[in-house]
C-alpha cells in the first residue's frame, strides 16, 4: 500500500480522520478500562490536535484542497426561490413548505429527510386556545457534544400576517390535509401520487417517503430556476441553514439567540455559518464613516462670543482657503492685528517704517 504524507488529502479529510481516530480511542478506553475522556479537551491529545491544525492550515492555502462551505443566500434570492412553487400542486406544496421551514427552523442539510409528522404540534395556551403557532421538536439534538442525545429545545413556525405566500403554518396544515388516510409512514415529505387530482381534498401523495438523493436536489434545482449562479458558488440544502444564520446576524440578532435557533451547544459552532457578503461588509465599514468621526476641518467652527479670533487667522471652512491679511495703505498698519492676548497667541501693533 502506497504511503501518503498527506499532500494529496483535502482539508476535510484531515479533519475527518482525526475525529474518527479520536472517537475510536474514546470508545476503546471506555470499553476496556471504563475511562471517560474528551479528546477535544484532553491534554495528551494537544500535540496531535496542533499537528492536525497545522496540516489543515497548510492545505487551506491551496484552493482546490480547501473546504468549500455551502453559500448563504440573500433574502431576495431566497424569496425568488420560494415564489417559484405552486402550492396547488403536490410537488410545489412540499417544496414551498420545505424552503420556508428549512430557513425559519434552520434545518441541517439532511434534517428534512428524516423529519416526521409528530415533530410538529399546534401550540395551545393555558386556556386551551390555539395560539396559531406550530411547535417543532425533533426530540434529539445531533449537535450535542460527545455524541450525547439530548432533548432539543422547541422551535416554532409562526403566522405571517403580512404575506400569506410565506405562511409556513398555513402550508403545513394544507400539507397534512393532502395526505391520504391510507398513509402509514410518519415521514413528512412523500413521493407524489401519479393519479393525484387537484379537485380531491386528499390523496396527493403515496405511502413512500422522498429519498435522500431526491430531496438533496431541491435547493439547487430551485436556485437554478431562479437564475442563481449554481456553478460559481456551492448551493446545497445546507445553504438554507446558512442563509438563516447569516441574515439574522446581519439584522443584529446576537449569537446567544442564534444558537437557540440552530440548536448548537456553543457560539463557536455557528462561526462557519456567519458568511460576510459584500453588503454586510459595506455596512460594517460605513459605520466607521459616520458624522461623529468626520475630520475636524470639515466641521463648522463654534466661536466663543467673548473672544473673537484674529482676522489674519480666520479661515473659510467651506473653501478651506485662508482669508488674506489686509493692510491700511495710509497708516501702513495692519487693521486686523489686535494688541491683546487671544487664543494663547501674542500679537503686537507694529508701525511699518518706510
Predicted TM-score (pTM) of this structure: 0.64
The DSSP element (H or E) to which 140 belongs, if any, is strand 140-141
pLDDT for the residue 339: 43
- 125-129, 147-151, 278-282, 291-295 — most confident range: 125-129
pLDDT at 302 over 90: no
* N- to C-terminal Cα separation, the chain: 104
Of residues 325 and 212, more confidently modeled: 212
pLDDT for the residue 271: 77
Residue-wise burial string across 211-236, b where 16 or more C-beta atoms lie within 10 A, e elsewhere: eeeebbebbbebbeebebebeeeebb
What is the mean pLDDT of the segment spanning 255-268? 84
pLDDT band at 295 (very low <50, low <70, confident <90, very high): low
pLDDT for the residue 346: 39
What is the mean pLDDT of the segment spanning 259-266? 83
Cβ(78)–Cβ(219) under 8 Å? no
pLDDT band at 262 (very low <50, low <70, confident <90, very high): confident
Helix axes 218-225, 238-250, angle to 10 degrees: 70
What's the chain's Rg over C-alpha atoms? 33
CB atoms within 10 A of CB 291: 7
Domain locations in the chain as residue ranges:
11-65, 75-286, 295-354
pLDDT band at 13 (very low <50, low <70, confident <90, very high): confident
- 75-286, what's its fold? hpI Integrase; Chain A (1.10.443)
Of residues 288 and 333, more confidently modeled: 288
Q: What angle do CA 169, 149, 37 make, to 5 degrees?
A: 150
pLDDT for the residue 277: 61
pLDDT band at 63 (very low <50, low <70, confident <90, very high): low
pLDDT at 314 over 90: no
Amino acid at each position: 500500500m502506497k504511503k501518503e504524507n498527506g499532500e494529496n488529502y483535502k482539508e476535510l479529510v484531515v479533519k475527518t480522520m482525526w475525529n474518527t481516530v479520536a472517537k475510536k480511542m474514546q470508545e476503546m478506553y471506555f470499553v476496556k478500562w471504563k475511562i471517560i475522556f474528551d479528546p477535544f479537551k484532553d491534554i495528551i491529545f494537544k500535540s496531535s490536535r496542533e499537528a492536525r491544525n497545522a496540516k489543515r492550515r497548510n492545505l487551506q492555502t491551496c484552493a482546490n484542497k480547501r473546504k468549500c462551505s455551502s453559500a448563504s443566500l440573500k433574502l431576495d434570492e431566497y424569496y425568488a426561490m420560494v415564489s417559484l412553487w405552486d402550492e396547488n400542486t403536490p410537488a410545489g406544496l412540499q417544496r414551498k413548505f420545505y424552503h420556508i421551514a428549512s430557513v425559519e427552523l434552520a434545518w441541517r442539510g439532511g434534517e428534512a429527510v428524516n423529519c416526521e409528522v409528530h415533530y410538529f404540534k399546534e401550540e395551545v395556551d393555558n386556556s386551551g386556545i390555539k395560539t396559531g403557532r406550530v411547535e417543532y421538536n425533533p426530540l434529539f439534538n445531533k449537535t450535542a457534544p460527545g455524541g450525547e442525545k439530548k432533548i432539543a429545545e422547541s422551535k416554532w413556525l409562526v403566522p405571517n400576517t403580512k404575506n400569506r405566500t410565506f405562511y409556513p403554518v398555513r402550508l403545513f396544515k394544507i400539507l397534512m390535509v393532502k395526505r391520504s388516510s391510507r398513509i402509514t409512514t410518519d415521514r413528512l415529505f412523500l413521493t407524489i401520487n401519479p393519479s393525484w387530482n387537484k379537485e380531491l381534498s386528499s390523496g396527493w401523495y403515496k405511502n413512500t417517503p422522498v429519498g435522500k438523493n431526491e430531496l438533496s436536489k431541491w435547493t439547487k434545482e430551485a436556485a437554478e430556476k431562479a437564475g442563481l449562479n449554481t456553478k460559481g458558488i456551492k448551493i446545497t440544502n445546507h445553504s438554507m441553514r446558512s442563509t438563516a444564520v447569516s441574515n439574522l446576524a446581519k439584522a443584529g440578532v446576537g449569537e446567544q439567540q442564534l444558537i437557540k435557533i440552530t440548536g448548537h451547544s456553543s457560539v463557536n459552532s455557528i462561526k462557519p455559518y456567519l458568511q460576510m457578503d459584500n453588503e454586510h461588509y459595506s455596512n460594517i465599514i460605513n459605520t466607521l464613516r459616520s458624522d461623529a468621526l468626520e475630520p475636524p476641518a470639515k466641521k463648522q467652527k463654534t466661536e466663543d462670543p467673548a473672544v473673537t479670533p484674529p482676522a489674519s487667522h480666520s479661515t473659510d471652512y467651506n473653501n478651506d482657503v485662508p482669508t488674506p491679511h489686509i493692510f491700511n495703505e495710509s497708516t501702513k498698519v495692519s487693521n486686523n492685528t489686535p494688541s491683546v492676548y487671544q487664543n494663547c497667541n501674542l500679537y503686537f501693533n507694529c508701525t511699518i517704517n518706510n
